[in-house]
Structure 1
Amino acid sequence: MTLAGSYRTLKTLILSVLLLLSLFLLASCGSDQSTTTSTQAEDTPLTRRAQEVFATTRGSDSEFPGNMITAAQLAAILQDPQRSQTISLLDTRPATELETQGAIPGSLWIKMQSIADPESLAKLPRDRTIVCISPTGHTANQVCTTLRWLGYDAILLKYGMGSWTQTPAGKDITAADAQRAIDFPYPVIEAGGVPAGNSVVKATATFTAPPENEYDELQQVAQEYMSDNVLDQEYPFNNISATNLYDRLSDPVLREETWLLDIRSPAAYDSLGHIEGTINIPWRRLGEPENLGQLPENKLIVVIGDNGRDSGQVTGILKMLGYSAVTLRTGMAGWLPTPETQEILDAVAAAHYPVATN
């Protein structure tokens, strides 16, 4: 072999070795990246509090399932001299609605966007159950979850003021949402299974206030979230209607940017059906690190519940954790006919309790 031939052979050998080495290093880097990706949510005061709030959501075996009280239950408590001393009424409707529609006697009014301000929180009792009141329950759910985040025992009037007395919001919004529960062409998966009404869902922990040394951080996050919870945004008060969601899912680009989270019980998810492509993580277990770690940080999370008053409580926590999230307004009851659909209509039709006009 000539000297030139030997040189070419050596050069080829060196290039081959370098190529193999490059491929090995590239594969190693790719392997390292995949193995360092964690499905566990980071352990912080915020994620710990989220887990606590989710886990202590009142179960179906509670007097107030899902942290919600009906108008009939509230009326009975207010008429009981002893039990009426165990609750406090918090009305966060627009001031104009109080002036024109009145309020439940004994209510304290605080502007919703100011509810997590220190001066507002100072007005609220920690030794009573706070009943949060909004026009239809679609914003009281977020007030309720914010207060629970800060250690207040809070529940919400399930269908809002529209279930207490005849109001334009009750007639035009709540009823309209329920009546819009049609079979959208978007696929719904019906898996059968145990009827939802036969399942019992329980809280998995006891509700407590957050640690004092973490309270300031939690309060600041809550204050920022509530102050930005307004009507004038793409999804007013962090709610998306069934029609708008259908349009979004029908657009291939927007569908790719959307993540559907169904927080109902597995029994309801299976027996009542669910929107195709949803991920079912039951409400009370959502805060567990392995579940919270599944949520995407670069997509719009649409939270789906039975009626929207439940899922809005989840949306509030996710927003405080920094996720982009909205609530499917009226939940699956606004997507297809469910037992909850008729319950909403019945609640609005039965609204007849007294109000104070001063």
Structure 2
Amino acid sequence: MKIIKKWALLTAIILVISFGLTACNITGKISEIPITGKVAEEQSNELFGNQFELLAEASDLFFKENRIQIMEPADVYNKVLLIGNPNYYVVDLRLSGHFAGGSIQGSVNIPYSSTWRMGQIAKLPKDKKLVLVCYSGHTASQTAAFWTMLGYDVAVMRYGMAGWTKNKDIIGSGTLPCAPFDNPISQEPIQFNDSYTLPGIDEEVTNLAELIAKQSEKFLTSGKGSVITIGTVQTRIVEGNEDGLLLVDIRQSQDYQAGHLPGAINIPFQSLAEPANLEKLPSDKTVVLICYNGHFASQAARVLNQLGYETVAMKDGMSAWTPDSAIIGANPIDCSWIVDYPTVYIKGESDETGVGCS
């Protein structure tokens, strides 16, 4: 009950702030808005308190709520596109040129690199479920975490356009592996008792929504990658024993115990932002998150990046690391279920900020 009340309060504050956002502007920053009543009494020109702790508490509530829906491409086709359901709003996060070359009918385009721009976010409907689509599901999952923390109702289409069509001209670099690797597995749990100093955050913001947006802006404009491939993990960590990366398996403990990457520690998704677990994460190493198929790891990577950690998700997760479903905790990856759902071609070129925002 305490968690629900805290989340409700945080969401209420964020919603009040978000409804006052302007549409697209040059700077992409949140504008000054008049707020009255109790919120105005509690709000000043500066967000007081330990900003890391405030954001960590909001992050912990995000993980425990676990509200982001993963929609199958078939459900998007049947429940959204086929009947024209007005309760859904499809947002394509791919580059504008790829969006124009083939997209889901009725979707709008906000390229991933600009998903931090509050002017664009403010134009998204609060009364609909946003269905995010990218190349393979990973950057959509990252964005879903960010926008959910801003108060939006967000879903992710599993495997992105790679799960929607077999057309490689549309999929681009998002092609799925059609069979899992058969990489080494360990059943020896790793006891990890190290403790690290928590990152510091000190931004000139007036509220939690601005802080969340600012931290995502910093990540998205840094040029840092959001995923690491299985081949890189195998070469650099498992075979190369590289010390600059920490493997963190965020699956449920029973699935971790059934089998995991050699050297990986276990911090389940829902407890990832608890204070004791955040202290286990080093700020001088890259944290590699591993889940079932990459979607949950991508959500978690964005939240931890917002907190100041260097974090990436292992692309496609355990479903592509091993063919053993008993170890994965889900089915291994394959392409046999993919069908060619219809796409539309947009004549002409979109600008880099995406359709619907100049």
**Range 66-75 or range 297-306, more displaced:** 66-75
Q: CA deviation at 1:267?
A: 2.5
Indicate how the Cα distance of structure 1 residues 338 and 312 shifts in structure 2: closer, same or farther if over 3 A, else same: farther
Larger gyration radius, structure 1 or structure 2: 1
Residues 173 and 130 (structure 1 numbering): CA distance in 2 closer, same or farther, change over 3 Å?
closer
Aligned to 1:293: 279
1:216 aligned residue: 210
| Structure 1 residues 4-51: Cα deviation after superposition (integer angstroms, max 9, x where no partner) | xxxxxxxxxxxxxxxxxxxxxxxxxxxxxxxxxxxxx99622111211
Q: Deviations over 1:142-166 (max 9, x none)?
A: 1111111222111211110111122
Paired position in structure 2 for 1:198: none
What TM-score does the superposition give when structure 1 sets the normalisation length? 0.70
Q: Using the TM superposition, give the Cα deviation of residue 301 of structure 1 relative to its aligned residue in structure 2, in angstroms.
A: 0.6
Report whether the alignment pairs 1:315 with 2:301: yes
Matched-pair contact (CA < 8 Å) for 1:159–1:344: no
Relative to 1, partners in 2 of residues 1:190 and 1:251: Cα closer, same or farther, differing over 3 Å? closer
- Give the Å deviation of 1:118: 1.5
1:149 and 2:113 correspond: no
Match of 1:262 among 238, 249, 252: 249
Task: Report the Cα offset of residue 110 of structure 1.
Answer: 0.9
Matched, 1:345 2:335: yes
The question of whether the paired residues in 2 share the 8 Å contact of 1:332 and 1:338 is answered with no
Q: How many residues align?
A: 275
- Note the C-alpha offset of 1:299: 1.4
CA distance in 1, matches of 2:250, 2:110: 29
- Structure 1 residues 344 and 357: alpha-carbon distance in aligned structure 2, compared to 1, 3 A threshold: same
Question: Which residue pairs with 2:130 in the alignment?
Answer: 130
* Identity rate, percent: 27
SS state of the match for residue 44, structure 1?
Answer: helix
Q: Which runs of 4+ in 1 moved over 6 A?
A: none
What residue ranges of structure 1 are gaps of 5+ in the alignment? 1-40, 59-65, 192-211
Hey, what does 1:51 align to over in structure 2? 60
Whether 1:245 and 2:254 are equivalent positions in the alignment is no
Confirm whether residue 95 of structure 1 aligns to residue 96 of structure 2: yes
Give the deviation of 1:173 after TM superposition: 4.7
Q: For the Cα contact (< 8 Å) 2:144–2:154, is it kept in 1?
A: yes
For 1:126 and 1:173, the matched residues in 2 are separated by 29
C-alpha contact 2:322 2:332 (8 A) present in aligned 1 = no
User: Quick check: 2:146–2:212 contact (8 Å CA) kept in 1?
Assistant: no
8 Å CA contact 2:135–2:174 kept in 1: the answer is: no
Aligned ranges 1:16-55 → 2 under 5 Å: 44-55=53-64
AA in 1 matched with 2:231 = T
Q: Is the 8 A contact 1:90 1:107 kept in 2?
A: yes
Where do 5+ consecutive residues of structure 2 fail to align?
1-49, 190-205, 347-358
Could you tell me which residue of structure 1 aligns to residue 76 of structure 2?
Answer: 74
TM-score (norm: length of structure 2): 0.70
Deviation at 1:134, TM superposition (A): 0.4
1:65-99, CA deviations, whole angstroms, 9 ceiling, x for partnerless residues? x63110111122125758x2221111011112122
How many Å separate the matches in 2 of 1:242 and 1:341? Answer: 17
Whether the 8 Å CA contact 1:188–1:274 is kept in 2: the answer is yes
Letter of the aligned partner of 2:96 in structure 1? A
One of 298, 310, 334 as aligned partner of 1:324: 310
The reply on whether 1:277 has 2:275 as its aligned counterpart is no
- Distance in 1 (CA, whole Å) between partners of 2:185 and 2:83 is 51
CA distance in 1, matches of 2:65, 2:324: 26
